[in-house]
Structure 1
């Protein structure tokens, strides 16, 4: 019999190896180690992935036609039958002592055959149907519980909720089943009760109705009821989100309280001239964004602001006012874009403003001629340039600014954290403005950019009409081309976008280069066409874009290099070929290239074959709404938060173990409020009762979130 030891903060689960538990030999210890379980504390933190409510399990003899039930039994026979057209059916007969239940799959026989062996104990869930007197489930959900017999169900007590753990299949000879894991956790709790030190102040946990930590650990592994399981999950989700938000809170307080950023005290010649020379009226949303940014720049604390706005909402103009204010204060501004073509588009757009203001603007990319690059670098270092627009080439070692005061980073989600940080380190604490034309759901804004001040441009310039979006099958392509002819005949311009540059042997996608040649024969010779894609030399891309902008080209055929940054008000038609291959955000960005003038614009999403469910949902969402923020919510729900942002983002998305920032939004709001209140009251976490928070943060979060400091 094992000796019971009390778990404390400086011992117990933090250093007791799992090999001290009964039944853990070298083989099982190795398999556990592959799953990240080395100590008893690791074992307690290995939460079940779902639960089987034994109270809903029915015997085979009691099954009724049409009901959705769970049945637990022993695999009796496994059979693979050949069907028509070379297909095969896979059948399993399951016995629970009261009768036989037949399980049938009409596809997947090759991989399913390795999932069931006679004698395995299996839980299945599905809809019951009867064929004669034999009950059957087609394509049920299933869970291998163990390799034992149906009589060996010692952990399936009547009325119990049974935890099902992620299967450990790292080592062939030491596979750890869900049942083995349950036994292991129960042995651990008997030998080493989970008397963890609290990681939240008692007053805070009580006010939020959270279970004590030790009780939460016991409950999440062996819940007494669904209600208690929900309380245990709430404790872990709330705590996880609290510490993630505490990172944001401490970082924001740290940035705000450091009054060592350059203060933009003067506004005058350049900012006034910019406003005076605008050929249009700014929207109220743009004016509000400028006011918020000006307030930051004059505060003495470093601006750390995210500017969100749908495609065409005028973010670049807002950034232009910030850069003009930098020039009024004798400082330089850097504008970094993720691609060369986007950087060049911004350069042309910004230069149209700066030429009227008497400001010098340069461009810096990786493909510049050596002489041009050298001249730009010299002018930048000597102060001859007020604004530089470029790609990640601006963060290279040889790039030096005379006095960088403002860093603007466009499409910030395409840059890694270290790339953004490298630009900021080109000067002593410059102000930072991040911009995105990909609207971010409120859940992601709070969960990933929680340390930033956020400004949303929620209005569009006046006179613009919503883009009419239509879905078209590839069999209707001739009608789409006829529509382009009609629009060009009215003096308008159009885009056709393809997902690939050259034909792929593995994918049935019409590629841009081949299709460009074909289009010449399909459209009237009078329609002037040009091709653009990312593999073209920079000078050639520049020539094509200038020709399209000056209306020397009617139809621009290309790839997604025109996804962002291209602003031609006369373009009224966007055609996306093989639209089912594109993501929702990308489709919205492409559609945003039209609808920038006062004429009605159109977007045709041309799809081939029979798109899958998610592809159909994306296309229908595009047809239903032009609202980028609504589309971002749909995109996040379809793909998940981490995938929406990509792998380069920092923040809580990749670090969450229990919580989900979409499903648990209300919990995150509660945890965020408490975390920010604590950081405001005690930024150093030195007050009595807060030391446990400081110690827990340092132990579990400080290495992950290295940008926040606690004194």
Structure 2
């Protein structure tokens, strides 16, 4: 017999176990049993009385009623017109290479058919589905004896099933007598049928499984036991069985995530941090006295939360999220000044050199002589701001490193260069991380370990991409969350419009005219492109996997495979505008591969009004603040994600004038991509767009799977649909870790956490 902890090579043999390990990282019985079916093939009953949706993938077991070779009307050749009978349904199927399939697809044969639903004249059908011809069911009238052995034949994605059915170690074809047949996530080397065979082999040997969840939790949430859930998810008899098993296993996933977050929260809380209470009549107060405007109620409320955290002797670990332009930077600066008043240093980590330099300039400008420590005319309370980036010249970098190490710099601003081992601080008290989703957990921890005498600095992470509640609970559960929704007085709303370039070519000309009109009024504009376009890999390209997956038929090749749509590079767009419709304006160019000093010069010239139109890539996505810029044209807008578009347009309308954002796209009207762009244009509410972004991307991309390079480790849990499950699991996890933070008294929960989530890949949980 076997337990969940047993190794697969002991039960399945080394050859099979090695394949499972290489394909899915499975090493134990629990790893295999937590590899759940992602759908079930049926005898047709799942279709019910409703018709399936266009594009839905359907896998059914049915019998061939008719199979006629007929001539095609629109082109030469023939097709095989097939009628399947399954339960009470008749399904039309077409095969376009009848000479290859007509010897298998004959009237009377029984098979499994798998394909995508297509509609024609209100009737759905399957076109050229994968199939496998199955043996006849066992006949109970003759003692359950199987039908005479037949050669199992198949094609397409189901050809592997036919291969697996051959030989003594092949799959037991009697499984296809069941009402529901599990279909597993698979690879080219490990097909669904191989997983099915391994699961059945393991279940036949599995001892009864002890349940790590307390009885009270299961009763409270009406959950079945783990043993029943693991067996039922793989071998259900009814759809209700599947539902009950998934409800239990979904809670396991939610609890696993929340246990990771709760343990991380506990690890932070037990550390010591510098006590930094607000001091009267010091640098922070002097800065507040000079402010030329009033802070919003939201800014004051959030600032009070942060100030209280900084006054404690355990580390602050807080997320500050807010709308584009809601004033997060000034809230962070006031927190840094409070820490400096307490005698400690601050580090501000930015994801790009452009943003780091922008922060250095804007904070220096806001502080004035309060940032001029060591210079003539500096205020008595002044501190110093130092910039450290990877591309700085050796002498500049050496000076910056020295100012950080000696404590001369109260605020050190930098990119990933701040995390390098050769960077040391005299007494680091606060780390501010801008656009936190650009950084991994290990990078955050490197700065967290730079405190003096073993203490941990306080941590404030910021994002201008509002985060839905489920994401905040699931991937940022170790952070307290503060939210800024209110925009400062004087900020005008941004008007957004979609420009359908193919349908209305003259609208593109009008976009360039709008820029000329704004420049004539003394204002400035951005033109944003999705890639650099000099033949090398674009390190600041805006390719968005979620957006690309949503491309409609206009970006699809003849054989139905997606091709990369034509896009306008920033170099090409710059040349066309500078020599064409904007030839008499001052047009600048900015992208991520320009030398650092050239990027700084371009941004400085744009900020000072010496450039009318900045043609750029997404290096301006966050943090860039030029109040005189009122128009942004985003070229190939369909290449950007929802949140990215919202971030970009937040660069305009930051002064007293109306902001305008034009989204140019070649996407056809009425398609899903156009619908997405129109949704962005239709609302300025970043929180509403964040929820839309989550619904479009689903869990994988939002959780940072693209950055980590792994498949999503959430198998059943949906961050879109399972708010209540996540909240309940969070309460449960916090109660457990308060009493047993290391889970030493709950080894079953520790094991469940590892198997249900795969904590070896948990780094992505820090990226939202």
TM-score, with structure 2 as normaliser: 0.78
Q: 1:234: which partner in 2?
A: 247
Q: 2:415: which partner in 1?
A: 391
Partner residue of 2:590 out of 514, 517, 532: 532
Q: 1:49: which partner in 2?
A: 38
Q: 1:414: which partner in 2?
A: 438
CA contact (8 A) 2:629 2:652 kept: yes
CA contact (8 A) 2:94 2:128 kept: no
2: CA distance, partners of 1:535 / 1:65? 49
Structure 2 residue runs without a partner (length 5+): 139-146, 148-172, 371-381, 537-563
CA contact (8 A) 1:614 1:638 kept: no
2:646 is equivalent to residue 633 of structure 1: no
Cα RMSD, aligned residues only: 4.1
CA contact (8 A) 1:286 1:457 kept: yes
Partner residue of 1:646 out of 704, 716, 723: 704
| Structure 2 CA distance for partners of 1:375 and 1:450, relative to 1, 3 Å | same
2: CA distance, partners of 1:115 / 1:590? 56
2:539 is equivalent to residue 483 of structure 1: no
Which moves more between the two structures, 537-546 or 461-470?
Answer: 537-546
Q: 2:349: which partner in 1?
A: 336
Q: 1:123: which partner in 2?
A: 113
Q: 1:138: which partner in 2?
A: 125
2: CA distance, partners of 1:659 / 1:64? 26
Q: Give the superposition deviation at 1:646.
A: 2.8
Give the match's secondary structure for 1:655: coil
Q: Give the superposition deviation at 1:605.
A: 0.8
1: CA distance, partners of 2:510 / 2:128? 45
1:354-433 matches, within 5 Å, as 354-357=367-370, 358-427=382-451, 428-433=455-460
Q: Give the superposition deviation at 1:181.
A: 5.6
CA deviation map 1:505-529 (0-9, x unaligned): 9863333233323323434665332
CA contact (8 A) 1:169 1:176 kept: no
CA deviation map 1:421-454 (0-9, x unaligned): 2222222411111111122222211111111111
| Structure 2 CA distance for partners of 1:395 and 1:102, relative to 1, 3 Å | same
2:218 is equivalent to residue 205 of structure 1: yes
CA contact (8 A) 2:389 2:418 kept: yes
2:181 is equivalent to residue 162 of structure 1: yes
Which moves more between the two structures, 600-609 or 149-158?
Answer: 149-158
2: CA distance, partners of 1:145 / 1:77? 16
| Structure 2 CA distance for partners of 1:140 and 1:274, relative to 1, 3 Å | farther
Q: 1:670: which partner in 2?
A: 728
Give the match's secondary structure for 1:244: helix
CA contact (8 A) 2:261 2:477 kept: yes
1:137-536 matches, within 5 Å, as 138-139=125-126, 144=131, 148=135, 154-157=174-177, 160-167=179-186, 169-170=188-189, 177=193, 185-186=199-200, 188-189=202-203, 191-258=204-271, 260-268=272-280, 269-357=282-370, 358-427=382-451, 428-474=455-501, 475=505, 476-502=507-533, 508-523=566-581, 527-536=585-594
Structure 1 residue runs without a partner (length 5+): none
Q: Give the superposition deviation at 1:350.
A: 0.9
CA deviation map 1:324-358 (0-9, x unaligned): 01110111111110111110001101111333422
CA deviation map 1:632-671 (0-9, x unaligned): 1111211223313434878999432332222222211111
CA contact (8 A) 1:249 1:676 kept: yes
Number of aligned residue pairs: give it: 677
2: CA distance, partners of 1:115 / 1:210? 49
1: CA distance, partners of 2:344 / 2:527? 42
| Structure 2 CA distance for partners of 1:300 and 1:51, relative to 1, 3 Å | same
2: CA distance, partners of 1:634 / 1:95? 39
2: CA distance, partners of 1:186 / 1:624? 51
CA deviation map 1:289-339 (0-9, x unaligned): 111111111111111111111211111101101110111011111111011
Give the match's secondary structure for 1:206: helix
2:58 is equivalent to residue 73 of structure 1: no
CA deviation map 1:82-120 (0-9, x unaligned): 88589x8864646669999651268xx89x989996578
2: CA distance, partners of 1:523 / 1:600? 23
2: CA distance, partners of 1:58 / 1:599? 56
Which moves more between the two structures, 33-42 or 440-449?
Answer: 33-42
CA contact (8 A) 2:698 2:719 kept: no
CA deviation map 1:111-152 (0-9, x unaligned): x98999657822357879999xxx995335956466646887
| Structure 2 CA distance for partners of 1:115 and 1:612, relative to 1, 3 Å | farther
1:104-119 matches, within 5 Å, as 104=94
1: CA distance, partners of 2:633 / 2:668? 19
CA contact (8 A) 1:447 1:651 kept: no
CA deviation map 1:368-397 (0-9, x unaligned): 121111111112211111111111111122
2: CA distance, partners of 1:66 / 1:364? 55
Q: Give the superposition deviation at 1:677.
A: 2.0
1: CA distance, partners of 2:231 / 2:508? 61
